[in-house]
């Protein structure tokens, strides 16, 4: 099964998303928007784990707006392990000097403001498992692009994937089947358990982005 063709973004929206700061290759961002355009908004809103500075929200937000729904964008805004000082993906200008830690929330807010998405993209600021604990709204699309440690990734799987509505989409970033290409946590702790449970089936892939659809009902015996 393949997804509908148009990316769901205007040329201006696409240019803005490409220019936004963050960690999303152009082709994977377009695949993300295309997946969102294929989600059924009647099933519920969109939610992403891992906002950073708002780049993926620039791909998902315009699609949510046109679908008449919203994107909840969750992050504690303190950065993942690999964003901390001394690590490969650290960006020193994002450190709050008084706190001495990364704070991506101001940059995120600015990105969403400049993109005209303040009515559509709703920030959830806090640790993913803490927000997940009391979350009960079914989602038409869940995008997991949060922490890449094994325990953090597993917590995202366990805490969030049950909220994907039957027929809804689970999109996972940074899935690498080959350890030489990247860390294994999203593959081992999110992708594989989702597929192996029988609840999700892969319907599209682009680079390290995987798009799964939740089964309408579990097969007998699961």
Which of the residues are catalytic?
148
Q: Which is closer to ligand SAH, CB of 103 or CB of 167?
A: 103
User: What does the alpha-carbon distance between residue 123 and residue 4 come to, in Å, rounded to a whole number?
Assistant: 28
Residues in CB range of 58: below 8 A, 6 or more apart: 13, 16, 17, 20, 111, 115, 117
80 binds ligand SAH (CB under 6 A): yes
Give backbone dihedrals phi and psi of 95, rounded to 5 degrees, phi first: -80, 135
Within 84-113, the residues that bind ligand SAH by CB under 6 A are 104
Number of residues that bind Mg ion (CB under 5 A): 4
Within 8-37, the residues that bind ligand SAH by CB under 6 A are 22-24
Beta strand ranges found along the chain (DSSP E): 46-49, 71-75, 95-96, 101-102, 121-125, 139-144, 164-172, 200-206, 209-214
173 binds Mg ion (CB under 5 A): yes
Select from Mg ion, ligand SAH, none the partner in contact with residue 127, using the beta carbon and a kind-dependent cut-off of 5 to 8 Å.
Answer: ligand SAH
Q: Which is closer to Mg ion, CB of 23 or CB of 135?
A: 23
Within 163-192, the residues that bind ligand SAH by CB under 6 A are none
Take residue 16 and report the two structure tokens written for it: 């803005």
Contact 37, 4 (CB under 8 A): yes
x/- contact string, 142-161, with Mg ion (CB under 5 A)? Answer: ---x----------------
**Binding stretches for ligand SAH (CB under 6 A):** 22-24, 50, 52, 55-56, 75-80, 104, 127-128, 145-147, 152
């Amino acid at each position: 099964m393949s997804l509908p063709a148009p990316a769901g973004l205007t040329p201006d929206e696409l240019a803005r998303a490409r220019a936004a700061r963050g960690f999303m290759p152009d082709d994977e961002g377009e695949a993300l928007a295309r997946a969102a355009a294929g989600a059924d908004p009647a099933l519920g809103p969109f939610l992403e784990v891992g906002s950073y500075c708002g780049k993926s929200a620039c791909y998902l937000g315009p699609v949510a707006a046109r679908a008449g729904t919203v994107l909840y964008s969750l992050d504690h805004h303190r950065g993942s392990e690999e964003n901390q000082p001394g690590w490969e993906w650290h960006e020193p200008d994002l450190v709050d000097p008084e706190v001495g830690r990364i704070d991506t929330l101001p940059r995120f807010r600015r990105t969403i403001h400049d993109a005209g998405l303040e009515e559509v993209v709703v920030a959830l600021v806090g640790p993913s498992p803490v927000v997940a604990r009391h979350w009960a709204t079914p989602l038409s699309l869940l995008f997991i692009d949060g922490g890449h440690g094994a325990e953090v990734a597993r917590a995202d799987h366990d805490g969030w994937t049950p909220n994907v509505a039957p027929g809804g989409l689970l999109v996972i970033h940074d899935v690498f089947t080959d350890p030489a290409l990247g860390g294994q946590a999203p593959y081992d702790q999110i992708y594989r358990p989702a597929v192996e449970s029988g609840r999700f089936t892969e319907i599209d892939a682009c680079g390290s982005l995987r798009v799964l659809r939740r089964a309408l009902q579990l097969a007998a015996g699961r």
